[in-house]
Each structure stands twice: as C-alpha cells, then as structure tokens.
Amino acid sequence: MVGTYKNYTPVIQCKDIDNEFIYKTFDMDFANALYTKTTESWDKILLRIIKEQSLKDKVYDSNGNIMPNIIGILSVLMSQNYYKDNKPSDYEFDLSELDKFSDFIYDKFGERLHIERLNEGKKIPNKIIIDDKLKQWIWDKFEAPFQKRNSLI
C-alpha cells in the first residue's frame, strides 16, 4: 500500500498509520455507512481512506454499481455476526493453518480449494499499538452493535 495500490492512492502511508488515525477515520459514521451500501455513504467512507478527486471511474462500473473489489475491501471491516445473523460457526480455522481448511474442503466435497496467498511473509511497518484500548474500541465500533442478546432483563 506504499505509494499507490493499483488505481488508488491512500490518504496515509502504511508506515504512518497509528492508533489516532484509526480512531479518527473509522468512527461510528464509518461503521454505520458500511451497512448502508448506498453510493453516497460508500463515497463518504472511501474518501476517508483513498485520495482520489473522483471515485466514479475507479470505484464504480459503467452501470454505476460499485466494483466487487471495493466491496471486498470494505467487507473486511464488517462484523462476522452481520453475515452469520449471530449464529455460531459450524467450523472455525486458524488463519495460520489454511492448508487444513483446504484439506477439509477436499475431504468433504472432493474438490481441491486453492487459496491464493497475498502479501505472504511481509510485515508492513506501522505505528499501531495493539492494546486493550484499541481492542475495546474495535469491539465497540464493529462487533458490539451486532451482538444479539437471548436473555431479557
């Protein structure tokens, strides 16, 4: 992400990202806009992370639909409970053991799943301090709003 990433120029270099940038950029307005999925809401949040004068040619196709790669980028920030409707996972895998997931799919369905590795082995320098404050902040903004409670008081 240093410099440009394909057609996008980030508002900040990875090496300069720190906790204050995260707190300022990914606030509740950002988190809520992820789920709105309107052109206006996504433009608003995309302009917080990429430095483009016009998003039209870079983010939307000729029919005005957001390009799938942008949805993929933003969906990384969405709560897993949003997708799962707060249901527990049937299976969980450690990301460092993706080879076992591929074997699981092969054993269950007889199809070999190829998982492309991106940025393999590269630790991108940054100034992020992973502490309890950051973890709680991430929980409050991106996960807690999707926790459904089964018991009533």
Q: How many domains does the chain have?
A: 1
Token readout for 15 is 């090496």
- Summarize pLDDT for 95-106 with one digit per residue, the tens: 677 778 888 889
- Quick check: is 137 in a domain? yes
- Quick check: is 8 in a domain? no
Of 84-88, 117-121, 124-128, least confident by mean pLDDT is: 117-121
- Summarize pLDDT for 52-84 with one digit per residue, the tens: 766 666 777 888 777 777 777 777 788 777 767
- Quick check: is 43 in a domain? yes
Range of the domain at 67: 14-86+120-146
- Distance from C-alpha of 132 to C-alpha of 12, rounded to nearest angstrom: 24
- Quick check: is 1 in a domain? no
User: Is pTM beyond 0.95 here?
Assistant: no
- Distance from C-alpha of 146 to C-alpha of 87, rounded to nearest angstrom: 11
